[in-house]
């Protein structure tokens, strides 16, 4: 089975939710829709307090090319343009607060009935951007930008990322099991946008039911490939490498080796956007971990308060960490007063015994991090440079090639927070660059 | 740099504060392997137990005494030093215990207690703590201790009690030569190994020979080494390449002149090669960090070991070979960096 | 015996010869004044001058007759010595000192979460914006103490950094290291600074910190020189150029958030010189001077706040500072 060099095998822990069918999360009375839920320039609010809005209505406009709009998750009235803690930065960020009217009415004309395969490439791209579709694996990169590589880059490979290599999470898994058509048809639309007649859906071997079903349902031009279970198989560069043997060049992007990768959930959102004009206002999220009483996979609207999600899932057990995303690259939260975003693939609640809160000690050069690093770096050196703040030397030691997957930190017997050191060094390097 | 954790509530108010709040926040990742430094040290100690038991069996209570004194004095000295220098006391990580055990395995069983204590002092304080503690020492601490003792107390360190069954109550231990010692004497004085007729393969393989209390049984050490490799504490590179280098070099010479050189099989089981290849050269802090580097390191160790054994003044060359190669490790690390993903060629 | 003496002696002589010749042929041509200048520099290589260390700056200022004195860490004596060596007078810039604009020790503030990670303020800041409840206050992890090349900042028992006045040279390394931007350089002659930079309103700040600036505005009102600006969403700021060190703001501040480098000394009226004109009584903001016209006036030491306005206004030069 195809794989990549390096990587680790953390306990999968997916048994908590992988067999739980998706449950529709009930309508909330209030939504906090963050204006910035994507990489790139924030969107600009176009509504004000007191405005009536309908479901799917644009709340803020994109600023520039690398930006997407955000939409109302339900019908109601704009309470205020307020601020809420942003799950990614931990700082207050602007959000549009909507009091739902309970009627959940679509904006005028929605949903549409269109045949995306009869639409031109430009029309499809406009639909994808207008729907605010972003990478739903967690990176939230605007999809329309990813699908518009510059003219000089020839794309010959399109990969759908169904690997879901993070432990605990099963949102893509359940999506492929319960709504394979949305994923497959979305794949077809993207193939048309990229001008390809072939695509590959990559699924890790720990999802045999999804592999079977997708193989059954997929048309001939979409190949379904099983990959060896190893973290971080779902990382873009490792995925391309395992499937095609190509290595994305240092400092480059997948398009430099002719590849485009999209998350399975993003493909489904693309289909909705193109065929029915539906903007990205809801997603499938795995609420899991032993710190939550009733783990579930939920279909939840963007802007839903986290407190309600936790209550819906039975409340908290004993909790040490609340994480948005998976345990390897997710972001720990310090408050429950936050809201679900477009990129929230999981809400993971860990007890003290499930996570690591021990002090770190000196590096013993055991080499486990070198074995684990999928990018061929020497993480122990970066951690020692991080202790001293030596960012220039770190850049010489390939600091910028680190994808912060966390494999090194997972295996380090001295408990060294290597990813934290890398982030610290990158921040110092950026600050030094800005000063110049 | 110090760090904040939740495991020391008395020292850090974090846990107390967090108890009032709901959560901890750290950078990703938020899960961790259960294999930490104390776990690794424990596995190595378990792997050494067969070799230590054989030593105690053949050399009796004195061997046990050497082991106990070494471990206790290493731990006490590390704790004392760290307290005196107002550094965090780290004896719980098990590295001092391991150094003590390894040092003991490298000493003759008749070593007096004060000799062992001096060796511990050199190993822990000079070779390890003065360089900045665990992770910062360039040389294998147990070997530095052993070599210091060898040079400073050559008589005490080359007085080898004869092996005998643990249950035979002989009053005084007779002393004799180790297999390698007998070999060197035979070659130097008579020019042929036939002058040492008592040499065979089974004795050093099982352990019925004189020598350092931990090195005598190749079998026990190989078993321990296999355990370490199976548990992924060490990789196969250093032991296999080190042993193979010694086998190849001695094999070539033996094939050319079987009277003047001992067989490669003999060189493998006699002396401290098994102990050195599986337990001393593989010390993580003082060996290269990449597998390619480990191969280079192991070849170097093998070559120097053979040179000293065959043409040097000492009968055994493992300790010196490893220490000399320890000095090259930073250079080897620089020269054998792993291939970066996506390196622009 | 003779042969070994000759052999070793010969080797020694050869070595000395090689060294001696090398010292001449490979000598680095350097202006001898450069070394003298370098000896006067503090040698901390802090980089505040903008050059790659003290040696680089010494080289620049020696060879370039236009070069200015850019080192903030030289004292008067060193400045004179360097001027003498180079044969031109070098004026130093007004000496600066670092001040820590936060009084929120852990005992007075709340935390949002338990932080796990390296003990570095910059590293903590990138984890959800830092553990402190107040987004503007000192994180207390000691990065400023670590980066100071002169060991002039120490973390106090209460968890806040303290600047050691005698050691601080105003190089500014701590200012750039602090991720919260709470360290400011003020002139050494400047006496006062506000120990809070919070932009939260008083209401927002209350649950987070007991000792921050409540933005009451009293300091701005009492300042006779218009040197203080304060608003509902900005802590008080003292304009160091306008501040005349009268100290009225310190006395007026209800929370004590305005700090002073040194306590101003009280005043005493020299009876022999005093003409009894009563101008001092009129200008005194603390009502600490009293007396009868044409008779020597008296200062009530208990009420005197040491602002020195009376000294400025006295036409007879009859008032002096005392150590009480």
Which CATH number is C283's domain given? 3.30.70.20
| Nearest-CB residue to A424 (from C126, C128, C130) | C126
Distance CA B98, CA B228 (A): 14
Same domain, C213 and C244: yes
How far is C244 from chain A, CA to nearest CA, in Å?
Answer: 34
Q: Are residues C218 and C287 in the same domain?
A: no
Asked whether residue B12 is domain-assigned, the answer is: no
With vertex at residue A97, the alpha carbon angle to CA A94 and CA A98, rounded to the nearest 5 degrees, is 155
Q: Do B3 and A360 touch (CB under 8 A)?
A: yes
Q: Are residues C286 and C231 in the same domain?
A: no
Interface chains of chain C (3 or more CB pairs under 8 Å) = A, B
Cis bond upstream, residue A111 (ω within 30): yes
Tokens linked to A252: 């480059």
pLDDT in tens, B235-270: 999 999 999 999 999 999 999 998 888 999 999 999
C249 and C278, same domain (yes or no): no
Neighbours of chain B (3+ CB pairs under 8 A): A, C
Residues B147 and B190 in one domain: no
| B48 and B108 together in one domain | yes
Neighbours of B252 (CB within 10 A): 12
Q: Chain C closest CA to B87's CA: distance in Å?
A: 16
Query: Do C133 and C119 fall within a single domain?
Result: yes
ipTM for the complex shown:
0.93
Neighbours of chain A (3+ CB pairs under 8 A): B, C
**Is B344 a residue whose pLDDT tops 90?**
no
Chain C residues within an 8 Å CB radius of B21: 111-114
**Nearest CB to B7; choose among A359, A380, A419:** A359
Its domain, for residue C299, covers 267-321
Residue A8 placed within a domain: no
As averages over each run of 10 residues, the pLDDT of chain C (324 residues) reads 93 96 88 87 85 89 85 83 86 83 91 93 94 93 94 92 90 93 88 91 90 92 90 90 84 88 81 91 89 90 84 90 71
Minimal Cα–Cα distance from B6 to chain A, Å?
6
Inside any domain, residue B19:
no
Confidence band, pLDDT 50/70/90 cuts, at residue B13: very low
Under 8 Å between Cβ of B241 and B248: no
Is position B141 within any domain? yes
C128·A427 Cβ contact <8 A: no
Average pLDDT of every residue of chain B: 90
Residues of A in contact with B21 (CB under 8 A): 334
> Which among C106, C115, C118 has the least Cβ separation from residue B25?
C115
Of A37, A12, A34, the residue nearest A139 (C-alpha):
A37
Measured between beta carbons, the chain B residues lying within 8 angstroms of A378 are: 289-290, 337-338
Q: Which residues of chain B neighbour A5 with C-beta distances below 8 Å?
A: 341
C-alpha to C-alpha distance for A162 and A360, rounded to whole angstroms: 35
Are the Cβ atoms of C116 and B4 closer than 8 angstroms? yes
Dig out the tokens for B28 from the structure.
Answer: 């990703």
Alpha carbons B70 and B93: distance in angstroms, whole number: 17
> Is the CB of residue A235 less than 8 Å from the CB of residue A405?
yes
Instruction: Flag residues of chain A having pLDDT under 50.
Output: none
Q: Do the chains contact at C118 and A357, CB–CB below 8 Å? A: no
Which is nearest to A132 in space by CA: A307, A328, A279, A291? A279
3-state secondary structure of C132: strand
Based on the fold, state whether residues B256 and B148 are members of the same structural domain.
Answer: no
Report whether pLDDT(B10) > 60: no
CB contact under 8 A, B23 and C114: yes
Q: Residue A396: CB partners within 8 Å, gap ≥ 6? A: none
| Same structural domain, A265 and A373 | no
Q: Is the pLDDT of residue B204 over 60?
A: yes
Q: Which of B157, B187, B208 is the last residue of a domain?
A: B157
Within this chain, do residues C230 and C287 fall inside the same structural domain, yes or no?
Answer: no
Do B81 and B142 sit in the same domain of this protein? yes
Residues 94-153 of C with CB under 8 A from B: 106, 111-120, 126-128, 131, 141
- B329 and B214 part of one domain: yes
Residues C251 and C308 in one domain: no
A chain contacts of residue C133, beta-carbon cutoff 8 Å: none
In a domain, C167, yes or no: yes
A232: cis peptide before it, omega within 30°? yes
Nearest to A427 among C126, C129, C135 (CB): C126
Same domain, C107 and C251: yes
Q: Where are the beta strands (DSSP E) in C49-171?
A: 96-100, 114-115, 117-118, 153-155, 161-163
Q: Using the beta-carbon criterion (under 8 Å), do B14 and C114 form an inter-chain contact?
A: yes
Question: Is residue B90 domain-resident?
Answer: yes
Query: How many domains does chain C divide into?
Result: 3
> Distance (Å) from the C-alpha of residue C208 to the closest C-alpha of chain B?
14
Q: Are residues B210 and B327 in the same domain?
A: yes
3-class SS at A168?
A: coil
Confidence of residue B11 (pLDDT cuts 50, 70, 90): very low
Do C151 and C74 fall within a single domain?
A: no
Do the domain assignments include residue C280? yes
B88 interface with C at CB cutoff 8 Å = no
Choose the final residue of a domain: A260, A276, A292.
A276
Distance, CA of A331 to CA of B27 (rounded, Å): 7
Q: Which residues of A touch C135 (CB under 8 A)?
A: 91
Report how many domains make up chain A. 2
Q: Is the pLDDT assigned to residue B168 strictly greater than 80?
A: no
Instruction: Give me the pLDDT at residue B345, please.
Output: 60
**Residues B6-10: what's their mean pLDDT?**
42
Whether residues C116 and C71 share a domain: the answer is no
Domain containing B185 equals 178-335
Residues B186, B326 within the same domain: yes
Q: Which of residues 48-107 of A touch B (CB under 8 A)?
A: 90
Answer yes or no: is B42 within a domain: yes
User: Is residue C3 a part of any domain in this protein?
Assistant: no
- For residue C113, the chain B residues in CB contact (below 8 A) are 18, 21-25
* Beta-carbon separation of A417 and C117 below 8 A: yes
Domain boundary residue, one of A276, A302, A319: A276
Residues B214 and B246 in one domain: yes
Q: C201 to chain A: which residues are within 8 Å by CB? A: none
Q: Work out how many domains chain B is built from and give that number.
A: 2
Hey, are the CB atoms on A421 and C123 less than 8 Å from each other? Answer: yes
3-state secondary structure chain B: CCEECCCCCCCCCHHHHHHHCCCEECCCCCCCCCCCHHHHHHHHHHHHHHHHHHHHHHHCHHHHHHHHHHHHHHHHHHHHHHHHCCCCCCHHHCHHHHHHHHHHHCCCCCCCHHHHHHHHHHHHHHCCHHHCCCCCCCCCHHHHHHHHHHHHCHHHHCCEECCCCCCCCCCCCCEECCHHHHHHHHHHHHCCHHHCCCCCCHHHHHCCCCCCCCCCCHHHHHHHHHHHHHCCCCCCHHHHHHHHHHHHHHHHHHHHCCCCCCCHHHHHHCCCHHHHHHHHCCCCCCCCCCHHHHHHHHHHHHHHHHHHHHHCCCCCCHHHHHHHHHHHHHHHHHHCCCCCCCCCC
Residue B153 lies in a domain: yes
Q: For residue A417, give the nearest of C118, C130, C135 by CB distance.
A: C118
Contacts of A335 in chain C (CB under 8 A): 112
Range of the domain at A401: 368-435
B342: in domain = no
Residues C120, A424: C-beta atoms closer than 8 Å: yes
* CATH at A168: 3.40.50.11540
Mutate to test the interface with A, among C48, C117, C128, C147 (most CBs of A within 10 A): C128
- Chain B residue closest to A371 (CA)? B290
Residue appearing with tokens 């090259």: B328
User: Contact B14/C119 with Cβ under 8 angstroms?
Assistant: no
- Rounded distance between C-alpha atoms, residue B218 and residue B224, angstroms: 10
Last residue of a domain, one of C213, C243, C260: C260
Same domain, C132 and C202: yes
Residue B155 tokens read as: 């008589």
Q: Residue A89: its chain C contacts at CB < 8 A?
A: 128-129
Chain A residues with a Cβ under 8 Å from any Cβ in chain C: 89-91, 331-335, 357, 386-387, 389, 417, 420-421, 423-424, 427-428, 435
Instruction: Give the pLDDT confidence score for residue B18 in this predicted structure.
Output: 47
Pairing label, strands A76-85, A52-53: antiparallel
Tell me whether A370 touches chain B (CB under 8 Å). yes
Q: Is residue A270 part of a domain?
A: yes
- Over 90: is that where the pLDDT of B8 sits? no
Q: Which of C214, C234, C260 is the last residue of a domain?
A: C260
Beta-carbon separation of B289 and A378 below 8 A: yes
Same domain, B246 and B312: yes
* Alpha-carbon span B322 to A225, nearest angstrom: 48
| Chain A residues touching residue C130 (CB < 8 angstroms) | 90
Q: Note whether A333 contacts C127, CB cutoff 8 Å.
A: no
Do C209 and C116 fall within a single domain? yes
The answer to whether residue B169 is domain-embedded is no
Q: Tokens 């963050």 sit at which residue?
A: A34
Q: Identify which of C114, C116, C128 has the shortest CB distance to residue A90.
A: C128
Instruction: Give residue B5's pLDDT.
Output: 56
Residues in chain C: 324
Residue at a domain's end among A276, A293, A316: A276
In this complex, the residue of B4, B15, B18 whose CB is nearest that of residue C117 is B4
CA-CA distance, B72 to B68, in Å (whole number)? 6
Cis bond before residue C155 (omega within 30° of 0): no
């Amino acid at each position: 089975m195809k794989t990549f060099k390096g990587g680790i095998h953390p306990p999968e822990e997916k048994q908590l939710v992988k067999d739980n069918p998706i449950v529709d999360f009930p309508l909330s009375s209030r939504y906090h829709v963050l204006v910035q839920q994507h990489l790139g320039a924030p969107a600009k609010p176009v509504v004000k307090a007191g405005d009536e809005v309908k479901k799917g209505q644009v709340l803020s406009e994109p600023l520039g090319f690398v930006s997407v709009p955000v939409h109302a998750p339900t019908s109601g009235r704009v309470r205020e343009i307020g601020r809420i803690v942003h799950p990614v930065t931990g700082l207050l960020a602007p959000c549009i607060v909507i009091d739902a009217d309970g009627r959940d009415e679509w904006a005028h004309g929605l949903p549409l009935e269109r045949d995306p395969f009869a639409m031109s490439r430009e029309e499809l791209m406009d639909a994808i951007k207008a729907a605010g579709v972003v990478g739903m694996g967690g990176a939230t990169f605007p999809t329309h930008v990813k699908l518009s590589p510059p003219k000089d880059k020839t794309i010959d490979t399109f990969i759908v990322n169904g690997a879901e290599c993070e432990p605990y999470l099963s949102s893509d898994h359940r999506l492929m099991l319960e709504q394979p058509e949305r994923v497959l048809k979305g794949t077809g639309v993207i193939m048309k946008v990229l001008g390809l007649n072939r695509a590959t859906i990559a699924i890790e071997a720990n999802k045999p039911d999804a592999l079977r079903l997708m193989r059954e349902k997929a048309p001939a031009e979409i190949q379904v490939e099983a990959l060896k279970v190893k973290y971080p198989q779902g990382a873009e560069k490792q995925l391309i490498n395992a499937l095609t043997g190509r290595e994305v060049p240092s400092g480059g992007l997948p398009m430099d080796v002719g590849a485009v990768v999209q998350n399975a959930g993003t493909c489904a959102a693309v289909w909705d956007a193109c065929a029915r004009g539906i903007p990205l206002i809801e997603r499938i999220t795995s609420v899991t971990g032993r710190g939550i009483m009733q783990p579930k996979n939920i279909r939840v609207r963007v802007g839903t308060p986290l407190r309600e999600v936790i209550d819906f899932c039975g409340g908290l057990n004993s909790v040490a960490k609340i994480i948005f995303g998976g345990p390897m690259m997710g972001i720990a939260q310090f408050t429950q007063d936050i809201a679900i975003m477009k990129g929230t693939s999981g809400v993971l609640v860990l007890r003290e015994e499930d996570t690591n809160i021990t002090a770190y000690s000196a590096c013993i050069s055991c080499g486990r991090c070198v074995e684990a690093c999928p990018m061929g770096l020497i993480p122990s050196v970066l951690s020692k440079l991080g202790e001293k703040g030596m960012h220039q030397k770190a850049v010489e030691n390939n600091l910028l090639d680190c994808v912060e997957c966390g494999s090194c930190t997972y295996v380090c017997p001295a408990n060294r927070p290597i990813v934290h050191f890398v982030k610290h060094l990158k921040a110092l390097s950026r600050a030094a660059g800005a000063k110049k | 740099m110090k760090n904040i954790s939740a495991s020391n509530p008395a020292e850090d108010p974090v846990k107390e504060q967090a108890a009032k709040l709901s959560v901890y926040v750290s950078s990703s990742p938020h899960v961790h392997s259960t294999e930490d430094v104390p776990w690794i040290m424990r596995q190595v100690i378990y792997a050494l137990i067969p070799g230590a038991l054989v030593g105690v069996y053949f050399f009796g209570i004195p061997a046990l005494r050497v082991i106990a004194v070494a471990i206790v004095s290493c731990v006490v000295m590390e704790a004392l030093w760290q307290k005196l220098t107002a550094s965090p006391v780290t004896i719980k990580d098990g590295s001092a215990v391991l150094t003590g055990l390894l040092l003991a395995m490298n000493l003759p069983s008749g070593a007096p207690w004060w000799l062992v204590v001096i060796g511990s002092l050199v190993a822990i304080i000079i070779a390890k703590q003065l360089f900045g503690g665990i992770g910062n020492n360039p040389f294998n601490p147990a070997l530095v201790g052993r070599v210091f003792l060898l040079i400073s107390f050559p008589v005490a360190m080359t007085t080898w009690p004869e092996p005998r069954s643990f249950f035979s109550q002989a009053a005084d231990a007779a002393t004799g030569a180790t297999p390698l010692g007998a070999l060197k004497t035979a070659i130097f004085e008579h020019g042929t190994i036939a002058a040492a007729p008592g040499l065979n393969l089974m004795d050093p393989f099982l352990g019925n020979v004189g020598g350092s209390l931990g090195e005598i049984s190749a079998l026990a050490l190989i078993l321990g080494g296999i355990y370490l490799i199976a548990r992924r504490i060490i990789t196969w590179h250093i032991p296999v390449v080190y042993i193979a280098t010694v086998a190849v070099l001695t094999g070539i010479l033996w094939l050319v002149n079987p009277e003047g050189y001992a067989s490669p099989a003999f060189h493998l089981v006699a002396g401290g090669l098994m102990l050195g290849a599986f337990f001393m050269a593989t010390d993580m802090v003082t060996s290269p960090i990449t597998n390619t580097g480990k191969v280079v390191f192991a070849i170097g160790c093998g070559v120097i070991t053979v040179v000293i054994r065959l043409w040097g003044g000492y009968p055994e060359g493992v300790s010196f070979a490893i220490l000399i190669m320890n000095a090259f490790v930073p250079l080897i690390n620089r020269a054998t960096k792993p291939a970066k993903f996506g390196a622009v060629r | 015996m003779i042969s070994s003496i000759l052999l070793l002696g010969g080797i020694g002589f050869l070595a000395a010869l090689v060294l001696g010749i090398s010292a001449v042929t490979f000598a680095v041509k350097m202006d001898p004044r450069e070394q003298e200048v370098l000896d006067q520099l503090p040698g901390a290589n802090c980089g505040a001058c903008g050059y790659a260390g003290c040696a680089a700056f010494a080289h620049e200022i020696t060879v370039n007759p236009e070069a200015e004195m850019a080192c903030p860490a030289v004292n008067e004596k060193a400045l004179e010595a360097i001027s003498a060596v180079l044969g031109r007078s070098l004026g130093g810039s007004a000496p600066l000192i670092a001040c820590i604009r936060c009084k929120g020790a852990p005992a007075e503030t709340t935390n949002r979460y338990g932080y796990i990670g390296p003990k570095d303020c910059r590293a903590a800041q990138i984890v959800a914006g830092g553990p402190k409840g107040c987004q503007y206050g000192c994180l207390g992890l000691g990065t400023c103490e670590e980066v100071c090349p002169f060991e002039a900042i120490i973390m106090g028992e209460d968890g806040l950094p303290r600047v050691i006045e005698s050691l601080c040279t105003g190089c500014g390394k701590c200012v750039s290291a602090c991720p919260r931007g709470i360290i400011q350089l003020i002139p050494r002659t400047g006496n006062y600074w506000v120990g809070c930079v919070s932009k939260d309103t008083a209401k927002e700040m209350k649950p987070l910190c007991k000792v921050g600036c409540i933005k009451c505005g009293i300091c701005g009102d009492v300042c006779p020189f218009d040197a203080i600006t304060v608003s509902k969403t900005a802590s008080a700021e003292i304009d160091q150029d306008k501040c005349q060190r009268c100290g009225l703001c310190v006395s007026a501040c209800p929370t004590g958030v305005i700090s002073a480098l040194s306590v101003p000394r009280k005043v005493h009226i020299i009876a022999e010189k005093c003409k009894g004109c009563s101008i001092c009584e009129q200008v005194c903001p603390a009502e600490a001077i009293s007396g009868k016209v044409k008779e020597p006036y008296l200062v009530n030491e208990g009420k005197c706040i040491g602002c020195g306005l009376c000294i400025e206004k006295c036409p007879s030069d009859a008032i002096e500072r005392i150590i009480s």
